[in-house]
Amino acid sequence: MNNTILKVNNLKTYFFTRRGIVKAVNGVDFELKRGECLCLVGESGCGKTVTALSILGLIDSPPGRIINGEVRYGNLDLVKCSPKQLRQIRGKEIAMIFQEAQSALNPVFTIGDQIIEQLKLHLPLEHREARDRAMILLEEMGIPTVERVMSYYPHQLSGGMKQRALIAMSLSCDPQIIIADEPTTAVDVTIKAQILDIFRELKAKRQMSLIFITHDLGAVAEIGDRAVVIYGGRDIETAPVSEIIGSPKHPYTVGLIECLPDISKTTDRLVSIPGIIPSPIELPQGCPFHPRCPKAMEICSQQEPPQTTISEGHKVNCHLYQ
């Protein structure tokens, strides 16, 4: 247990809107161990981004609210922390890299200014020291001509460079944990490879603990140690990556892996999961996946499945395995 750096227990974040209650996160459990890369896997609307935002207390308070659960970081429960405490943690202890590099960077400030601002916010540095440190970080990211790039505005950089600048910013205060939200989604294949490489090095050199949010199972296979599959706001399967891919247990995970057009497979027709992803306003009763599940039983539409441990480190939430 000592190895655990972050533990999320039964997190529930709801948004109270006029159209109804949006149950974005509806009972998510997972733990992040020191130095590991944990992947939160799921398709759009499953609640993974909201989970990350909830950890850092970045949910817009009306209409959203964390109505249940705790996020244990060290001695603290982040859900119960005051805004002041959270501000000290964000960026310094737990840093987040947002999804759209485009909109996460302030368009009217140079890259250099933004990194320096981040540094001076948390560390007692002089301007010159902060500047030097910023340049070292950018170099570490593999950005050429660092001096020039420091004075560039975000629109002058390519997508890959912006992503790297964001990663540099998140590293600036040496955080314990980095949460990366879909960092490889909006970029080209070759840039994706470079970015995954950067993350791999971060893990190796800095022993960074990483929460990697993605829907790209390929990236999970490359860089993840363990994975948590999220569907309908709940974690439905947790296991080491090799087991998730090699022997998935939950029907959704099985379906997800089978429906990928994989470059090493030569099948004629893709297996697909019928139906559509449920809207978080109208989640099905019982197991959120049951309307689409090829192995659904009667109990699936009535009761939420409890967690079952299949083997060491491999847990499923499914009535099939009770």
Partner 1 sequence: MKQILNHDLLEIRNLEKYYPVTAGLLSQHIGDIKAVDGVSFNIKEGEVLGLVGESGCGKSTLGKTILRLEEPTSGEILYKGIDITKLDKRGLRELRREIQIIFQDPDASLDPRMTVGDSICEPLVIHNIADAKERMEKVAELMEQVGLEAGQASHYPHEFSGGQKQRIGIARALAVSPKLIIADEPVSALDVSVQAQVLNLMMDIQEEFGLAYLFIAHDLSVIKHMAHRMAVMYLGKIVELANKDEIFENPLHPYTEALLSAVSSLRAKGKKRILLHGDVPSPLNPPPGCHFHPRCHRVLPMCHQKEPQLVEISPEHFVACHLYNTTTS
What residues numbered 228-267 form the site for partner 1, per CB under 8 A? 245, 255-257, 259-264
Task: Kindly state whether residue 190 participates in binding partner 1, applying the rule CB under 8 A.
Answer: yes
Task: Kindly state whether residue 107 participates in binding partner 1, applying the rule CB under 8 A.
Answer: no
Size of the site for partner 1 (CB under 8 A): 42
- Order of all β-strands in the sheet with 209-214: 94-97, 177-181, 209-214, 37-41, 226-231, 234-240, 314-317, 307-311
Residues facing residue 73 across a β-bridge:
76
CA angle 178, 139, 206 (to 5 degrees): 35
Least distance to partner 1 from the beta carbon of 10, Å?
26
Cite the beta strand spans of the chain per DSSP E.
Answer: 4-17, 20-33, 37-41, 64-73, 76-77, 94-97, 177-181, 209-214, 226-231, 234-240, 307-311, 314-317
Task: Kindly state whether residue 219 participates in binding partner 1, applying the rule CB under 8 A.
Answer: yes
Nearer to partner 1, 162 or 319 (CB): 162
Nearer to partner 1, 245 or 283 (CB): 245
Task: Kindly state whether residue 145 participates in binding partner 1, applying the rule CB under 8 A.
Answer: no
Nearer to partner 1, 196 or 208 (CB): 196
DSSP 203-225: HHHH--EEEEEES-HHHHHHH-S
Applying CB under 8 A, which of residues 216, 225, 284, 296 lies at the interface with partner 1?
216
Residues at the interface with partner 1 (CB under 8 A): 43-44, 144, 158-161, 188-194, 196-197, 215-219, 221-222, 245, 255-257, 259-264, 268-274, 276-277
